[in-house]
Amino acid sequence: MFLAQSAADGKGEPVARLVFPARIPYNRAMRQPKSYTDFQPHVLILGAGPAGLLCALAAARRGRRATLVDASEITARKLRASGGGRCNCTNLDASPAHYLSANPKFAAQALKRFTPQNFLTLLEGLGLSASKEDFGRMFCDQGATPLTDALEGACRKAGCRFLLNHRVEAVTPTQTPDGTGFIVDTDKGTLSAPRVVLALGSPAWPALGGSDSIARLSGALGLTHLPARPALTPLTCTGSMLALCRELSGLSVASAAVSSLGKTYTDGLLFTHQGLSGPAVLQISSHWRKGEALTIDLAPAADLKQLLRDPAHGRLQARTVLAGLVPRRLADALISALTPELTALAQRKCAELSKAQMQALADIVHAWRVSPSGTLGMTRAEAASGGLCTTQFSPKTFECRKLPGLFAIGEALDVAGELGGYNLQWAWASGFCAGQAV
């Protein structure tokens, strides 16, 4: 049904000779051999994640025959797990400022061409809907799996073929009678098409299909790949900080401002058995570097110094005022972890404290210094920074400048979004744009 030959003929012969045999009639208008199989695709989309699915749907709706190839037995495993199964499918505030890339403007065109509103319209067309939560985050009302199934179903209805359980091992440019094409070696056989889209994602969260395939393939294709780093991943702690985190494991702070290296994120914070997590910590992890400290404001909406100075609180113990700002267990744990001098200060009445002492107590809540030991790495990273260097690709079509016919989209590229639906919006936007061009 598609061109699939064994990867080698047993004598070590290269498979390239099996592709586009000279006697096959060639339809120049379509840059494609006339069918000698029942489905010779115009485009092979490598990776059936959200970027690959949207690219395939957009291409198929333009009349292109698209075949999606994926190593997994099911499509888009990360999408199915996204948002804890609720799928934070886009963010109304999507703009390049919310993405990490060596080429910060690269994402701009695609985000303008396929906006969050465009995605919501597509969702509606699939019979689904989304609701807005904090920070412009949109969640699919029906959940992640129905969304994935609906997208896959729309692709199939539009004529796309799926080759699941096919691991891509190599991509090689080749000559066709009408210019370039590509041979794709998989663990099940060899495929070919005039156009190939790399939608293989990143190494993040390997248990959900994350792989380093892009790094491996890019070397053979002569493309520059920036080293992948885990992003949106929990931070680990050691020593007394780890003991504190374990004591408080499961406790969350609804709104904490976590800062490092000039970046601040204000969102939830969670204590875990390994250290710190929660949205604000996941966000800062994309910027944090080993050896750097975090400064955490556990009550950014309040001013503890002001409250300690308030005459109405003069007869209260400082620790009582402090415990009014953060969960009681956290306040107790923070106070018992202090130096004996500060612990003694926290027992005193507010009216007895000097300005400097009030400041010292306020810093415990508003400028808590924490030195993480590391991150949970790719194993628990929701995304990865790094990837294919974007300067090699058109920001409009996502076609490779030096290898026409080759495209790259989604997390395979050096574009990593913040938490909040930005990564999926990037997958949709880049997938859509490439789908218009393949």
Q: Considering the rule CB under 6 A, would residue 67 count as an interface residue with ligand FAD?
A: no
Q: How many residues bind ligand FAD (CB under 6 A)?
A: 41
CA–CA distance, 132 with 313 (Å, rounded to integer): 39
Binding mask 212-231 for ligand FAD (x = CB under 6 A): -x------------------
DSSP readout, 366-384? HSEEE---EE--GGG-SEE
Q: Which member of 101, 109, 192, 211 binds ligand FAD (CB under 6 A)?
A: 211
Q: Which member of 67, 82, 109, 236 binds ligand FAD (CB under 6 A)?
A: 82
Q: Which member of 41, 116, 194, 201 binds ligand FAD (CB under 6 A)?
A: 201
The residue (of 365 and 416) whose beta carbon lies closer to ligand FAD is: 416
What the block records as the tokens of 224 is: 């520059």
Largest CA distance in the chain: 96
The residue (of 201 and 275) whose beta carbon lies closer to ligand FAD is: 201
CB of 142 to ligand FAD, least distance (A): 14
Q: Considering the rule CB under 6 A, would residue 286 count as an interface residue with ligand FAD?
A: no
Question: Is 138 within 8 Å of 130 (Cβ atoms)?
Answer: yes
Contacting ligand FAD within 155-184 (CB under 6 A)? 167-168
The residue (of 147 and 248) whose beta carbon lies closer to ligand FAD is: 147
Q: Considering the rule CB under 6 A, would residue 203 count as an interface residue with ligand FAD?
A: no
Contacting ligand FAD within 376-405 (CB under 6 A)? 382-383
Q: Considering the rule CB under 6 A, would residue 200 count as an interface residue with ligand FAD?
A: yes
Q: Considering the rule CB under 6 A, would residue 72 count as an interface residue with ligand FAD?
A: yes
Q: b/e per residue, 214-228, with b = 16+ CB within 10 A?
A: bbebbeebebebbeb
CB of 6 to ligand FAD, least distance (A): 17
The residue (of 214 and 360) whose beta carbon lies closer to ligand FAD is: 214
CB of 387 to ligand FAD, least distance (A): 9
The residue (of 94 and 362) whose beta carbon lies closer to ligand FAD is: 94
Q: Considering the rule CB under 6 A, would residue 83 count as an interface residue with ligand FAD?
A: yes
Question: Residue 278 half-sphere exposure, CB side, CA atoms within 13 Å?
Answer: 25
Stretch that binds ligand FAD, among 56-64, 74-82, 103-111, 295-303 (CB under 6 A): 74-82
Query: Given the structure tokens 């400041």, which residue do they identify?
Result: 359
The residue (of 118 and 320) whose beta carbon lies closer to ligand FAD is: 118
Stretch that binds ligand FAD, among 73-81, 238-246, 345-353, 385-393 (CB under 6 A): 73-81
Q: Which member of 3, 19, 32, 70 binds ligand FAD (CB under 6 A)?
A: 70
**24 contact partners, CB below 8 Å, separation of at least 6:** 33, 34, 36
The residue (of 76 and 350) whose beta carbon lies closer to ligand FAD is: 76
What the block records as the tokens of 10 is: 């047993």
CB of 170 to ligand FAD, least distance (A): 10
Number of residues that this document lists for the chain: 438
Contacting ligand FAD within 417-436 (CB under 6 A)? 421-424, 427
The residue (of 88 and 176) whose beta carbon lies closer to ligand FAD is: 88
410: closest CA among 429, 391, 394? 429
Stretch that binds ligand FAD, among 176-184, 208-216, 239-247, 328-336 (CB under 6 A): 208-216
The residue (of 405 and 421) whose beta carbon lies closer to ligand FAD is: 421
Q: Considering the rule CB under 6 A, would residue 194 count as an interface residue with ligand FAD?
A: no
DSSP readout, 62-106? TT--EEEE-SSSSS-HHHHHGGGGT-EEEETT-SGGGEE-SSTTT
Pairing of β 416-417 and β 99-100: antiparallel
91: closest CA among 115, 113, 127, 109? 115
Q: b/e per residue, 339-352, with b = 16+ CB within 10 A?
A: eeebeebbeeebee
Beta strands in 299-376 (DSSP E): 368-370, 374-375
At 89 the three-state DSSP class reads strand
Contacting ligand FAD within 17-56 (CB under 6 A)? 46-52
CA–CA distance, 377 with 205 (Å, rounded to integer): 9
409: closest CA among 57, 92, 139? 57
Q: Considering the rule CB under 6 A, would residue 283 count as an interface residue with ligand FAD?
A: no
Question: Residue 273 half-sphere exposure, CB side, CA atoms within 13 Å?
Answer: 0
Rg (CA), the chain: 26
Footprint of ligand FAD on this chain (CB under 6 A)? Answer: 46-52, 69-72, 76-79, 81-83, 87-88, 167-168, 199-201, 204-205, 208-209, 211, 213, 382-383, 410-412, 421-424, 427
